[in-house]
Structure 1
């Protein structure tokens, strides 16, 4: 239930060696086939290893990015695939990509509980490093269809210091990108990127990660991120 998520704090606001905690949330609900899961998993691993993404993720002035990933579907079906790892060098990035690439398909036959997934994300961020900023990447191929919607979670105040960005996989649900913009994206500078089907996931994810990391660089330089929907 939603109340269970309200006990989690969201970390200290103090300055930290971690400049960004980035949590990736991947849809594995019943609409995702084995082949589509593989395209998501491999696309994520390749995006993490993309040279431009790597360059943006490596430490700046001793401050690094921390990364974690979990899979979500129904209200009680969330599985951590990559626990928090500090991206302090190329070896850490390679370790993260290899861990993602080896993830088995959860083979879930459950619905799409976006609200519950966001609650799990808040709880997972509470176990992450002390950081300057928190961002969540939510990717999926359909709207919420189980229990409470994202707006219910956002109304709790748990996400006041968190930016939620979306990657809408336009495959089965017409207008999903607009749904993600309206219902999922949250916080200053939040944005949504579209993937034109699962075969386009790798490109879209690399673009999304690069954009998020470049916004952190702008913030480090004293420039506010541009708000783009």
Structure 2
């Protein structure tokens, strides 16, 4: 399988150019004329597509890990990060740069293969008012936790959500955050490949803020996400190692996804090779743990 991955500031906070600055560069490029002019966008603006369904620039499913390995404080930071990101000026600028100037988005939380909870159903975001409504819904929902980590379950659930999406766009993207490898449900590579066959792109936000805090942790979770989880045109990973940078990472990733951009100087071509981290490592660790 060949696809391109993007690793943004592999060690967040270590670069002289923080993630938000990178996102601002993308927004600046949009505002500077690298997208169609306002007149051209007005000509291409469509309320509905050929099937009579409302047209959007992207269908985005946000999938957030709430397994017990993610503590309550981290869950709250993630919630705040997404809520703040979708109402930010930079995000709305990226949204307004698309030909339809609107997107469809749903937000759900996941843990085990049969444990997914929709926090916000498919919503049309076309400006600040609709973005604020979604942000409020995200923040008003009680925080919860679940057992096990099934990335494959999250991907499979996202595919079902796309089937029910009342909007249509040229891009379908699953935005997955998580702090561990798949350890329950079907193998993650099978779910990934099924999503890619449907034309769905998967991006990742591996959370690596507490290395070796439990026996289920793995080294190089970012490489695991790159080789075993993400895929599709322009797919990328934003690895988070610093708690203080989590909200910035979320904001940057959403801006890039909405803008449909990648930062070419950070793209690493995938080659035909064995994964650098075994894609069944989570299942093997869980099996070993169960024998203790």
Contact 1:44/1:202, CA 8 A, preserved across alignment: yes
Aligned-pair distance for 1:159?
4.1
**CA displacement, residues 95-149 of structure 1 (integer Å, 9 cap, x when unaligned):** 11111122211232x1001111110010011111222210110001111111322
Rounded Cα–Cα distance in structure 2 between residues aligned with 1:214 and 1:158: 20
Is 1:23 aligned with 2:23?
no
Aligned-pair distance for 1:62?
3.8
Contact 1:16/1:132, CA 8 A, preserved across alignment: no
Secondary structure of the residue aligned to 2:267 is: coil
**Equivalent residue for 2:106?**
68
**Equivalent residue for 1:48?**
86
Contact 2:150/2:183, CA 8 A, preserved across alignment: yes
Secondary structure of the residue aligned to 2:238 is: strand
Rounded Cα–Cα distance in structure 2 between residues aligned with 1:198 and 1:112: 21
Rounded Cα–Cα distance in structure 1 between residues aligned with 2:195 and 2:131: 32
Rounded Cα–Cα distance in structure 2 between residues aligned with 1:198 and 1:49: 21
Which protein is richer in strand relative to its size? Answer: 1
**Equivalent residue for 2:159?**
122
Rounded Cα–Cα distance in structure 2 between residues aligned with 1:157 and 1:102: 31
Which of 209, 216, 220 pairs up with 1:175?
A: 220
**Equivalent residue for 2:267?**
228
Moved over 4 A (4+): 12-16
Is 1:199 aligned with 2:248?
no
Change in Cα spacing, 1:94 to 1:127, as seen in structure 2 (3 Å) is: same
Rounded Cα–Cα distance in structure 2 between residues aligned with 1:157 and 1:137: 13
Secondary structure of the residue aligned to 2:113 is: coil
Rounded Cα–Cα distance in structure 1 between residues aligned with 2:100 and 2:223: 38
Secondary structure of the residue aligned to 1:131 is: coil
**Equivalent residue for 2:176?**
138
TM-score after normalising by structure 2: 0.66
Aligned-pair distance for 1:158?
6.1
TM-score after normalising by structure 1: 0.83
Aligned-pair distance for 1:170?
1.0
**CA displacement, residues 20-65 of structure 1 (integer Å, 9 cap, x when unaligned):** 1011000001101111111111111111122101211237444421
Report the more deviating stretch, 73-82 or 151-160. 151-160
Aligned length: 210
**Equivalent residue for 1:106?**
144
Q: CA RMSD of the aligned region, Å?
A: 2.4
Query: Which segments of 5 or more consecutive residues in structure 2 lack a partner in the other structure?
Result: 1-48, 211-216, 269-292
Rounded Cα–Cα distance in structure 2 between residues aligned with 1:182 and 1:13: 36
Aligned-pair distance for 1:156?
3.5
Rounded Cα–Cα distance in structure 2 between residues aligned with 1:196 and 1:39: 14
Rounded Cα–Cα distance in structure 2 between residues aligned with 1:36 and 1:13: 43
Query: Which segments of 5 or more consecutive residues in structure 1 lack a partner in the other structure?
Result: 1-11, 219-224
**Equivalent residue for 1:166?**
204
Change in Cα spacing, 1:88 to 1:78, as seen in structure 2 (3 Å) is: same
Higher Rg: 2
